[in-house]
A and B are shown apart, each in its own frame.
Chain A
Amino acid sequence: MRAPLARGSVLAAAAALALTACAQGTSDDAGTDAGTDAGAESTYDPDAELSGELSIMGFGAGDEIATVRLEAAEAVIDPVEVTLIEGDLDIQQFLSAVAAGDPPEIVYANRDQIGTFASRGVIVPLDDCIEGEGVDTGMYRDVAIDQVTFGGSIYGIPEFNSVQITMANAELLEAAGMSIDDVNGSDWDAIAAAAEAMVQDDGGLSVIGYDSKLPEFLPLWAKANGVDLLSADGKTAQLNDPAVVEALKFAVGIYDAQGGFSAVKAFRDSNTDFFGAGNQFATNTLGAMSFEQWYVNVLNESSPDAAMAFDTFRDKEGQTIAFASGSAWAIPKDSANPVAACKLATTMTAVETWQAAAQARVDARTEQGLPFTGLLTGNEEADTAIQELVVEIGDEKWDAAVAATYEANDNTFALPANPADAEFKTAWQDAVNRVLNGQQEPQEAMDEAQEQAQAALDAAWADAE
């Protein structure tokens, strides 16, 4: 081997690999201010003749809910040719496309990403689009609108909604002498008692009594304890608020009482049939947890006879609460077809379109011999219309699940749009994980998270303003 050649190659490769990681394109113009209505401005003409192409990034037509609505939207914007860039929105791909001046015409993003995109001028306000298409924003759920509103303008059209309800194994509850009311969140002592009563550890965990679903559900536990993680204006982190720390201590304590988070997570991860007949409830290996409502559909389909019990998740006062999340349509700056994009977004989320999609789902489920368990959107009127399609299943547990889902959907909260969502989320999730991993105490972890999150918010808001 010739040493100098090898060394040279190695050093050159090292240099290239280390450095090319951080040069991913250039900006095409200077300073697009947040709030600049580049794509739609006040010239939005709903009667403009449509033509050209429309690429959608982040949206997949994988089921009847998607295909029926997409077909309806395509009919409205005909002859525009629609192409899908499927899969979850890849932020790197999206931002690179925007920076290169060749963005997709419309994107399908998580609502919590909207504030960050809006603050950087990546997407345009939709006020003129909404006004031009005569959309009544009052029909959308307030929390959904709050999530897509930045600087007084609406930057996204809300789509699906996701909420949490309490799900429990009725057999395990009964064996422990408890009921769904003991694990619905309203009585934290009862949850702790239920967790201890249902957990089974025979030299290794074999049943999780109660899974408090950390780190992802800290906002829910904090809200149940009376506080949000972020102020209503999206500018002040409240991560080390005593009520947040208390909620974290409680939720972590649930794991500690069952052998610690490591053991619970390892056991939870060992079940690889989360979506099948071998799920944790069907195999009697999980007592209770709060989880997103879509899992009701999975359980109903994969293990319809499992002994289940459902309720909403409740705060300490017994009031139903749920943390709303979901998706939204947004139009990138420099979108080549903003009018078609606007029409597609408003058509996809119109009440009658949702109804048609829900009916298609009902038909498909009926054909499979399965009940329709509902569909949640960010559109309150659509939800009401869709709920009318839900017929009584005739099985108490599944009817309870549907009722809990719709009650939760009427009692949601969310974190407001902010320009540093990713950093904010990373700060508190990492802090919770440090506590779960035994690296820090709750107060210390949340103090550190508060400092990081507030610094990120301050910097991002300063840039945005």
Chain B
Amino acid sequence: MATTTEVSRTPSTDEGDRVRRSTSRKNLRAALLFLSPWIAGFLIFTAWPVGYSAYLSFTDYDVINAPTLIGFDNYRQLFDDPKISLSLWNTFVFTAIKIPLHVIVSLALALLLNRAFRAAGFFRTAFFLPEMTPPVAVGILLLLLFNGQDGLINSTLGWVGIDGPDWTTDPAWVKPGLVMMGLWTVGSSVIILLAALRNVPQELYDSARVDGANWWQQTWRITVPMISGTLFFVFIVNSIGAFQSFTEAYTAFFGSGNTTYSNDAALFYVIYLFQQGFEFLHMGYASAMAWVLFVIIMIITGIQILVSRRFVYYEGDGR
């Protein structure tokens, strides 16, 4: 009987497997079909350019004539090019100043918005609006607002007796000026942090208040740990963005804002990369620069992730 039963169930099981496999294949085909626009886009616009730039980094290529393989010459040349170290230094300093300020200002604004119940919608919009400003316009705006003679910033400083610096020409003040201008666009970070703040359970604050915790203690002991994952996201995404800074500084100091005037203090790595690739037509060298930047960003991001393990709390992560 047992044998009979087993024999009689086997075809049924096989049939079920076939149906399941068939359904699974159909689902896979449907999924691939729906995903195909993205896959095609990814392969054409991301994977291929990334792979091709790796190849170009080992070539002498001027955009027009066929690339010629030159081994590691482009990478070797990076070490002899003084503008590489200069532009890297500028980029590191800019990032080091900008990111902490960006996070602090974003968090402060988000905390304020979190308490502005009635007007929150208006302020959310108001803080986000500058994000809609084209970066080129921000670059031009920088030259006007930070004009050392009668820009709005120095005029305002003048009201309180401070003689403002020449933000747009003094090499010592160019990067701080760019950082301050960058704070114009903290809107998206504010919105992200505000969303995180709204997710912090109210009962934690209620318990803290019962225990006599003041605002600062609640913020430092509850709010910051509870949104540390989001803070880390804002920190890391903006760090990567800062390493790739281009448009505002290029417009203000190398492009349409100043057709002949330049300032070495604003020569960020990606600006130099752009000059090499699209002004001097050294596309192979520029590709090598891009890959070096990629490696640098990966290393720094990796370090940030490692360090974050000590400070970041992910709810539901068991930590």
Contact = CB atoms under 8 A, between A and B. Distances in A.
Same complex origin of A and B: yes
Interface of A: 1-3, 6-7, 10-11, 13-27, 29-32, 91-92, 95-96, 98-99, 116, 120-122, 204-205, 215-216, 261-263, 265-267, 269-270, 272, 420, 422-423, 426, 429-430, 433-434, 436-439, 456, 463
B143 interface: yes
A433 B263 contact: yes
B231 to A, nearest CB: 10
A263 to B, nearest CB: 7
A270 B169 CA distance: 13
B227 to A, nearest CB: 9
Nearest to A216: B260
Contact of B65 (A23, A24, A31, A92): A31
B170 A437 contact: yes
16 contacts: A1-B229, A1-B233, A3-B314, A14-B294, A16-B46, A18-B244, A21-B53, A21-B290, A22-B287, A215-B261, A261-B169, A263-B148, A266-B169, A269-B149, A269-B168, A426-B279
Nearest to B148: A266
A438 to B, nearest CB: 7
Contacts of B169: 261-262, 265-266, 436-437
Nearest to B171: A437
B260 A429 contact: yes
B64 A14 contact: no
Given A18-B290, A437-B171, 4 more contacts: A22-B289, A24-B277, A24-B283, A216-B259
**Interface on chain B toward A: helix, strand, loop, or mixed SS?**
helix
Q: How large is the interface on B (under 10, 10 to 19, 20 to 34, 35 or more residues)?
A: 35 or more
A267 B168 CA distance: 12
B52 A23 contact: yes
Contacts of B301: 7, 10-11, 14
Contacts of A21: 53, 270, 273-274, 277, 286, 290
Contact of B312 (A3, A32, A98, A430): A3
A27 B54 CA distance: 16
Contacts of A2: 314
Nearest to B229: A1
A434 B301 CA distance: 33
Contacts of B280: 420, 422-423, 426, 456
B240 A10 contact: yes
A374 B230 CA distance: 64
A3 B229 contact: yes
Most buried by A among B149, B151, B232: B149
Interface string B226-246: 000110110011001000100
Contacts of A99: 63-64
Given A10-B236, A205-B149, A23 B63 contact: no
B66 A120 contact: no
Contact of A22 (B62, B240, B273): B273
A433 B49 contact: no
Most buried by B among A14, A265, A429, A463: A14
* Nearest 6 A/B pairs, CB to CB: A266-B148, A23-B49, A262-B166, A1-B229, A23-B53, A266-B149
Contacts of B143: 269
Most buried by A among B61, B64, B230, B293: B64
A436 B56 CA distance: 37
A19 B147 contact: no
A456 B276 CA distance: 12
Contacts of A216: 259-260
B305 interface: yes
A62 B120 CA distance: 48
A458 B196 CA distance: 57
Nearest to B170: A262
A436 B169 CA distance: 9
Interface of B: 45-46, 48-50, 52-54, 56-57, 61-67, 143-144, 147-151, 166, 168-171, 196, 229-230, 232-233, 236-237, 240, 244, 259-265, 270, 273-275, 277-281, 283, 286-287, 289-291, 293-294, 297-298, 301, 305, 312, 314, 317
Most buried by A among B147, B151, B260, B277: B260
Contacts of B317: 3
A412 B174 CA distance: 37
Contacts of B61: 27
A442 to B, nearest CB: 16
A20 B170 contact: no
Nearest to A429: B260
Most buried by B among A25, A91, A265, A438: A265
A184 to B, nearest CB: 23
Nearest to A433: B262
Given A23-B56, A215-B261, A262-B166, A18 B278 contact: no
A215 B259 CA distance: 10
B278 A430 contact: no
A128 B233 CA distance: 62
Nearest to B169: A262
B63 A30 contact: no
Contact of A31 (B57, B66, B289, B298): B66
A24 B281 contact: no
A232 to B, nearest CB: 23
Contacts of B312: 3
A436 B279 CA distance: 23
A266 B168 contact: yes
A175 B301 CA distance: 63
B46 A20 contact: yes
B294 A20 contact: no
A422 B314 CA distance: 51
A34 to B, nearest CB: 10
A26 B52 contact: yes
Contacts of A14: 240, 294, 297-298, 301
A67 to B, nearest CB: 25
Nearest to B42: A16
A82 B49 CA distance: 34
A121 B275 CA distance: 21
A426 to B, nearest CB: 7
A7 B166 contact: no
B97 to A, nearest CB: 19
Contacts of B168: 265-266, 269
Contacts of B48: 23
A1 B313 CA distance: 10
Contact of B63 (A25, A422, A429): A25
B62 A120 contact: yes
A269 B236 contact: no
A26 B79 CA distance: 27
Given A22-B277, A27-B67, A99-B63, A16 B262 contact: no
A62 B131 CA distance: 33
A15 B294 contact: yes
Contacts of B65: 27, 30-32, 120-121
A19 B64 contact: no
Contacts of A22: 53, 56-57, 273, 277, 283, 286-287, 289-290
Contacts of B260: 215-216, 429
Contact of A24 (B63, B148, B150): B63
